[in-house]
Structure 1
Amino acid sequence: MGLLAAIVVNLVGGAVIYLTGGLAAPWIASLLGFSSTGIVAGSTAAAAQAFYGNVASGSIISMLTAIAMGSPTP
């Protein structure tokens, strides 16, 4: 589950951030399991985080976390 979740988060999150200029990023981040308080337990984002362990600054997961924490969750 972790590898699949990491692939989904990176493909979907990367597409939203880079192809749409981040316009839909807060909504997609929320759907993947990123919230204003961090990563939601049991979500796709949590499975990806568990797969990666420590996340580097500037990665897709760190960008989605920052986007979700800086914007209201719908």
Structure 2
Amino acid sequence: MELNLYRELLNLLPGDPLLSGEVTVQHADGTVTVELPGGGEVRARGVFAAGDRVFVRAGVVEGLAPDLPFAEIEI
């Protein structure tokens, strides 16, 4: 069995996080602007209506997210 050090290094790095937010703008080029709970915005590929809650990972909308309340707890 051959050991690939580069692949082992990549396995140590974290993947893209799964984000959730609300679609605020639907653009004509097939992308949407998603507002994240912390106030940031992400532009991602996907066709959803304004007001939809969605999951976003690596610039792609993965699907609808449940409409749950957001609570931020500071430690």
Q: TM-score range by the shorter chain?
A: under 0.3
Query: Which one has a bigger Cα radius of gyration?
Result: 2
Larger RCO of the pair (alpha carbons < 8 Å, separation 6+): 1
More helix by share: 1
TM-score (ref. length: structure 1): 0.26
